[in-house]
Structure 1
Amino acid sequence: MNHSMTATFALVGRILMAWLFIPAGFGKLMGFSGAVGYASAMGLPMPEVGVAVGLLIELVCGIMILIGFMTRPAALLLAFFTLVASFFFHAYWSLPADQAMVQQLMFNKNIAVVGGLLVLAAFGAGTFSVDAKRNRL
């Protein structure tokens, strides 16, 4: 694969990854009380703090990944956040069989997202990023 194609795929991959986290963070911000109610119903300890931390991580790290700034630490933080959130919000193993399928799909999707974030942490943001520009200076 040539350099131009690799750089383009890295940029598109970052945009698509950010597409998941930035709207989720804004959703929590705009519907904070509803998000707190849901987190509380799911058994999250200190739901107000958890939702606030979650929305900050999703927004800030999502934007960092989008522009390719400090991409590796942002990807690692989002990977950890996504993994922890998966166990709280998609615990399909504790549901009756007729309710477990969608939650299992969501859990597995999140595990795949964690994998993608780890790849991003390993290989970085690519050529079309603030990180690459900073490294050239």
Structure 2
Amino acid sequence: MATTTTTSSAQDTLALIGRVLIAYLFIPAGFGKLMGFGGTVGYITSAGLPLPEVAAVVAIIVELGLGIALLLGFKTRWTAIVMAVFTIVTALFFHKYWSAPEAMKMMQQINFNKNMAIAGGLLALAAFGAGRFSIDKK
């Protein structure tokens, strides 16, 4: 049996604010990677990942492209799932606090934990949708 859910104006507003705040993190990061493509490739190379140019393009697409889609509430559930997976993978490859030098361990653990929390917020958007103030609801 299909059920419909009605959201309140406050819930829709909170979903919009949540999308804006998450996009606030991703869009500038993606733009920075695009403008500093060589540096992005170098950073990915330093992490030992294969195909660093391809990985940089994927990062730009996810952060900038999907960040804009999330902001606008376009295909929000799928967008949020892809972004959550990307965020978890990024944490695992770039914030390895368990093997970081002692001087960097705490900062890497904080960044790892922030990535996990961001992924949690993205999964909540995937579960509950973008709200009424989105392209998805038009």
Which TM-score bucket, shorter chain as reference?
A: over 0.9
Which residue is equivalent to 1:119? 124
Match of residue 95, structure 1, among 91, 95, 100: 100
Q: Which runs of 4+ in 1 moved over 4 A?
A: none
Q: CA deviation at 1:98?
A: 2.1
Match of residue 27, structure 2, among 15, 22, 33: 22
The answer to whether residue 59 in structure 2 is matched with residue 54 in structure 1 is yes
TM-score calculated relative to the size of structure 1: 0.93
Q: CA deviation at 1:4?
A: 1.7
Aligned mates of 1:103, 1:96 — CA distance in 2: 10
Q: CA deviation at 1:96?
A: 2.2
Give the share of equivalent positions with the same residue, in percent: 58
Unaligned runs of 5+ in 2: 1-6
Match of residue 7, structure 1, among 6, 12, 16: 12
Pick which of 72-81 and 89-98 moved more. Answer: 89-98
How many equivalent residue pairs? 132
Q: CA deviation at 1:82?
A: 0.7
RMSD: 1.0
Unaligned runs of 5+ in 1: none
Higher share in helix = 1
Aligned mates of 1:68, 1:96 — CA distance in 2: 40
